[in-house]
Amino acid sequence: MTSWQFQSPLVRLQQRAFLLAEIRQFFGERGVMEVATPIISSAANTDQQIEVFATDAIHPDKQQAYLRTSPEFFHKRLLASGSGDIFEIAPVFRRGEVTRLHNPEFTLLEWYRLGFDMSDLMAEMDALFQLLARRFNLLVDKTQLTSYQSLFKDYIEIDPFNVTDSWLNEFCHGHGYRGSNLSRTGALDFIFSILIQPQLVDLDGLLVFHFPIEQAALAQTNPDNPKTCLRFEFLFRGIELANGYQELQDVEQQRKRFENDLKWRQQHHKNALPLDEHLLSALDSGLPACSGVAVGIERLHMCLIQAEDIKEVLGFHALNS
């Protein structure tokens, strides 16, 4: 097979079409409206763990534009405008490694539910996954739930909220990390990916909730424990499929988080990025109480057919685009 050809069996196209149709039916039955939002924006995602693609400016007063890493900012502008419940199946772009689980261009399913708290959305995420597993004839056990803190305690006997940054860095270096000191988030992510996720391969579904506040991004602080936030992830056999928040509505807190991201980026010699003032204005005008979650379509497809590499479901990927 030559490199110009689709690099997977053509049945993968049929599976993907079936998968997307099932997702649309799922949301249609729940009255969640499908939307389409811009791929290019004059603002960017400041997240410390995400690198964006830049391109020519689309606004006469701006120097650059950016390919979206998620439709989240536009979705919140829609929600604040009165859209009601929405979802989008969106092409997104993130600079980074090409691995068996990563491609610089991929597809996100992202949706927002008004009046849902984190637990409500966790249940809906699981309902969608269980439905799709049945449609793809994948037998799965009942999804388990655990807190981030319990996961660390149960699998590596560490309380992630009761150790110092320096201790975490020493621990990472003792388990194979080579490099300069990591941020607290970076160290916890290293431990999670290297030591914990490989132990989760026998769990068909795992909902992990109450992540550290340093990893809140756009999630609310947990009112019962300010060291944590109202964020969750859904994992299938150790692979992250979904990341969800009970959404932050406080504009000043969100601006502070963005500014802290930019300070961190400057300290680590990363590109400066413009804040999304439109998003902040939307929050200031009043974002309705809601929760939202994003699911990687290609990873979901991989898991449903038990593929080992994302290229098996992409066909056209970074190495043959």
pLDDT tens digits along 227-272: 999 999 999 999 999 999 999 999 999 999 999 999 988 888 888 8
Residue 106, domain CATH: 3.30.930.10
User: Tokens 């389409």 map to which residue?
Assistant: 36
Cα separation, 294 vs 125, in Å, equals 10
Q: Is residue 97 part of a domain?
A: yes
Average pLDDT over residues 4-21: 94
Look up the domain containing 48 and give its range: 11-143+204-314
- Comparing C-alpha atoms, which of 176, 255, 184, 191 is closest to residue 213? 184
Query: Looking at the domain assignment, is residue 35 inside a domain?
Result: yes
Does residue 196 form part of some domain?
A: no
Res 1: pLDDT: 47
Is the residue at 247 inside a domain? yes
303 has pLDDT over 80: yes
Q: What secondary structure letter does DSSP report for 14? A: H
C-alpha to C-alpha distance for 76 and 87, rounded to whole angstroms: 11
- Work out the pLDDT band at 103, boundaries 50, 70, 90: very high
Q: Look up the pTM and report it.
A: 0.95
Residue 82 falls inside a structural domain: yes
Rounded CA separation 280/110 (Å)? 20
Q: What is the largest CA-CA distance in the chain?
A: 57
Is residue 34, in this structure, part of any structural domain at all? yes
Q: Which residue has better confidence, 37 or 319?
A: 37
* Pairwise CA distance, residues 239 & 41, whole Å: 30
Q: How far is CA 132 from the centre of its chain?
A: 19
Q: Is 154 domain-assigned?
A: no
Number of folded domains that form the chain: 1
What the block records as the tokens of 69 is: 């890493």
- Which band of pLDDT confidence, cut at 50, 70 and 90, is reported for residue 35? very high
Residue 189 lies in a domain: no
Percent of the chain at pLDDT > 90 equals: 87
